[in-house]
């Protein structure tokens, strides 16, 4: 199995921490080279069963302006070309305008969107429940996976779910 996974989320939610954790476990290629001007390969997770290419989607969370238009169009293209979207949010922070912008775009995605609620190590289970309820009231997600990218909690489960969607 192989496929492309776009990771979306505003800065600081833990995207890099997640990728570093995943890439640290398995032999992987980390690349700084842009695949195209719009897609950037962040890492390739390879096992004997699957190959998952993680790609960044720059610009999708940024406010609209003249310079940002190209980036927003590019992010749209990435959404069309990938097989699964990971939408990462932080469990310890309320939904912001950055997340709302991403949600508006994700509603038009034609591929499964997985909500990844990161930093569960920082919150009480009740707060996690509230965060999940808030996001799932905004749109339908194919799956909701709580993780701690820092501690590696539930990241294996996320990889299993991702693999199953490819
Ligand atoms: P990015 O901007 O989305 O790539 O976010 P980073 O991966 O750079 O993480 C931003 C900050 O959040 C860093 O200080 C990380 O150590 C921290 N962080 C990321 N994941 C977790 C987590 O699961 N738990 C906690 N407590 N901190 C985290
Ligand atoms: Mg980062």
Q: Is the dihedral of CA 161, 95, 72, 37 positive or negative?
A: negative
The residue ranges of every structural domain in the chain are 2-165
**Taking CB atoms and a 6 Å cutoff, what residues make up the pocket around ligand 1?**
9, 11-17, 118-119, 121-122, 148-150
Q: Virtual CA dihedral for 119, 124, 128, 134, nearest 10 degrees?
A: -120
Q: Is the dihedral of CA 114, 99, 139, 37 positive or negative?
A: negative
Tell me whether 0.90 is exceeded by the ipTM.
Answer: yes
CATH 3.30.499.10, applies to 2-165: no
Q: Virtual CA dihedral for 41, 45, 51, 56, nearest 10 degrees?
A: -30
User: How far does residue 108's CA lie from ligand 1's centre (Å)?
Assistant: 28
Q: Which residues are bridge partners to 43 per DSSP?
A: 54
Residue numbers in the known binding site for GTP are 9-16, 56-60, 118-121
Return the best residue to mutate from 12, 14, 20, 54 for the ligand 1 pocket (most ligand atoms within 8 A of CB): 14
Residue numbers in the known binding site are 9-16, 56-60, 118-121
Query: From first to last of its 166 residues, what are the pLDDT tens digits of the chain?
Result: 899 999 999 888 998 889 889 887 554 444 444 444 345 777 889 888 899 999 877 666 666 665 566 666 777 777 888 999 999 999 999 999 989 989 998 998 999 999 999 999 999 999 999 999 999 999 999 999 999 999 999 999 999 999 999 9
**What is the value of pTM for the model shown?**
0.89
Residue environment code for 89-99, b if the CB has 16+ CB neighbours within 10 A, otherwise e: bbbbeeeeebb
Identify the CA nearest to 105 among candidates 3, 6, 38. Answer: 6
Q: Is the dihedral of CA 41, 16, 163, 105 positive or negative?
A: negative
Positions of E strands within the chain: 2-8, 28-29, 40-46, 51-56, 84-90, 113-118, 143-146
């Amino acid at each position: 199995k192989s496929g492309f996974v776009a990771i979306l989320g505003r800065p600081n939610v833990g995207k890099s921490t997640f990728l570093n954790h995943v890439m640290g476990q398995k032999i992987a290629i980390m690349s700084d080279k842009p695949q195209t001007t719009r897609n950037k390969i962040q890492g390739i997770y390879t096992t004997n069963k699957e190959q998952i290419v993680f790609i960044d989607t720059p610009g999708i969370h940024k406010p609209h302006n003249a310079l940002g238009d190209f980036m927003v169009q590019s992010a749209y293209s990435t959404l069309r070309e990938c097989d699964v979207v990971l939408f990462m949010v932080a469990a310890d922070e309320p939904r912001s305008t950055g997340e709302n912008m991403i949600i508006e775009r994700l509603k038009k995605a034609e591929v499964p969107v997985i909500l990844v609620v990161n930093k569960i190590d920082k919150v009480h289970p009740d707060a996690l429940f509230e965060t999940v309820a808030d996001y799932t009231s905004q749109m339908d997600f194919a799956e909701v996976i709580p993780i701690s990218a820092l501690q590696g909690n539930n990241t294996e489960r996320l990889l299993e779910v991702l693999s199953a969607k490819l």
